[in-house]
C-alpha cells in the first residue's frame, strides 16, 4: 500500500530494481597494544617499555562508530521518491515507517547527529516524502487505506519533530508547519474525518485537550488528533520554553517558529 502519482496504480512501478548498495559504517582500527587486565587490586602491572613508547607516541583513539541505521531502506526510499512516477512507501513496515522509527529512537537518545545517513534522511528522503504525500495534487486520487497509512506516518513525524524541537532543525520545523497546517492538501481532502482524541459528544474538559473539532460539518478530526498528539508529547511547552529562553535566536529561527505558530492560530 503506497502513495503514488495520480494515474499510477497503487504500488505500480518496478520496485524490484537493484538498489544502491547499503552503506556500512567503517570499523575502527583495533589498538596495537593492550595492558593486561589486573586480577586483583594489588596486581596492576607496570607498563612494558613498548607500551610506554606507544603511549608516548600518541596512538590514535578510534572514533566512535555511527549508530546503526537502515541504509538499505534509505537507498530504496531515495530511489522510489525520485522517479518520474514517484512512489512513497507508506505501507506498514514499509521503508518510510522503518526509517521514521529508527530516526525517532536515535533522536530521543541524541544519537541522530552522529549518523550521517540519518541526517541525510532528514534533509532529503523525509522532507521529499512528506511534502509529496501532504501537499501534492494527487492526494485526492488515493484510496482511503492510503490516507490511513499517511496519517499514521504523520503521527510518527510529529513524535520526531517534538524530539528535535529544542535543536531548531530547520527541515523538521518546515515539515511540522506543513503537517499541522489546515490548508495543506491532505487536511483539506480529509476535513470531514472524525477525531479520535476529541470525538463528538465527548465530555472532556478544555484543560484535557489541546484542540477540538471547529465545526461538526468539517471537523478536521485528523488534524485535531495531530495537534493533540503534539501537545501530549509536551510540544507546546518545549516551543514556549524555546521562544522565552531567547538563547541563540536569530531571524530564520524566529521566522520558522512563528510560521508554525501562525498555522495553529488559523
pLDDT of 217:
85
> Is the separation of the CB atoms in 69 and 118 below 8 Å?
yes
Does pLDDT of 206 surpass 80?
no
Q: Backbone dihedral region of 249: left (phi > 0), alpha (psi from -120 to 50 degrees) or beta?
A: beta
Confidence of residue 261 (pLDDT cuts 50, 70, 90): low
- Distances in Å between the Cα of 194 and the Cα atoms of 39, 52, 219, 263 are 66, 71, 6, 20
Q: Give residue-wise pLDDT tens across range 106-161.
A: 999 999 999 999 999 999 999 999 999 999 999 999 999 999 999 999 999 999 99
pLDDT of 232:
93
Cell numbers standing for residue 16? 524490484
Question: Quick one: CA torsion of 229, 102, 93, 140, rounded to 10 degrees?
Answer: 50
pLDDT of 57:
44
pLDDT of 258:
62
Does pLDDT of 8 surpass 50?
no
Task: Please say whether the dihedral angle defined by the alpha carbons of residues 91, 94, 96 and 98, taken in this order, is positive or negative.
Answer: positive
Residues whose CB is less than 8 angstroms from the CB of residue 177 and which lie 6 or more positions away in sequence, other chains included: 256, 259, 260, 263
Alpha-carbon gap, residue 74 to 118, rounded angstroms:
9
**What is the model's pTM?**
0.72
Q: What's the mean per-residue pLDDT of the chain?
A: 77
Q: Give residue-wise pLDDT tens across range 38-68.
A: 333 334 444 444 444 444 444 443 457 889 9
Q: Which residue has the higher pLDDT, 83 or 26?
A: 83
Alpha-carbon gap, residue 173 to 164, rounded angstroms:
9
Does pLDDT of 102 surpass 50?
yes
Averaged pLDDT for residues 69-74? 98
pLDDT of 65:
83
Cell numbers standing for residue 27? 570499523
Amino acid at each position: 500500500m503506497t502513495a503514488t502519482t495520480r494515474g499510477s496504480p497503487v504500488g505500480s512501478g518496478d520496485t524490484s530494481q537493484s538498489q544502491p548498495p547499503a552503506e556500512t559504517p567503517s570499523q575502527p582500527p583495533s589498538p596495537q597494544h593492550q595492558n593486561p587486565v589486573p586480577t586483583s587490586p594489588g596486581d596492576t602491572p607496570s607498563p612494558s617499555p613498548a607500551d610506554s613508547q606507544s603511549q608516548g607516541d600518541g596512538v590514535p583513539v578510534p572514533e566512535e562508530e555511527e549508530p546503526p541505521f537502515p541504509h538499505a531502506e534509505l537507498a530504496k526510499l531515495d530511489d522510489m521518491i525520485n522517479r518520474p512516477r514517484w512512489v512513497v512507501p507508506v505501507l506498514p513496515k514499509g521503508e518510510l515507517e522503518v526509517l521514521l522509527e529508527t530516526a525517532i529512537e536515535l533522536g530521543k537518545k541524541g544519537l541522530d547527529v552522529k549518523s550521517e545517513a540519518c541526517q541525510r534522511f532528514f534533509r532529503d528522503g523525509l522532507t521529499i516524502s512528506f511534502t509529496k504525500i501532504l501537499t501534492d495534487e494527487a492526494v485526492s486520487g488515493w484510496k482511503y487505506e492510503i490516507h490511513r497509512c499517511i496519517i499514521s506516518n504523520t503521527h510518527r513525524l510529529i513524535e520526531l519533530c517534538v524530539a528535535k524541537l529544542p535543536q531548531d532543525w530547520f527541515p523538521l520545523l518546515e515539515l511540522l508547519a506543513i503537517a499541522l497546517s489546515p490548508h495543506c492538501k491532505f487536511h483539506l481532502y480529509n476535513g470531514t474525518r472524525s477525531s479520535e482524541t476529541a470525538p463528538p459528544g465527548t465530555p472532556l474538559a478544555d484543560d484535557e485537550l489541546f484542540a477540538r473539532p471547529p465545526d461538526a460539518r468539517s471537523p478536521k478530526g485528523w488534524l485535531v488528533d495531530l495537534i493533540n498528539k503534539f501537545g501530549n508529547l509536551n510540544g507546546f511547552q518545549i516551543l514556549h520554553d524555546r521562544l522565552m529562553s531567547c538563547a541563540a535566536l536569530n531571524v530564520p529561527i524566529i521566522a520558522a517558529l512563528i510560521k508554525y505558530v501562525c498555522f495553529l492560530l488559523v
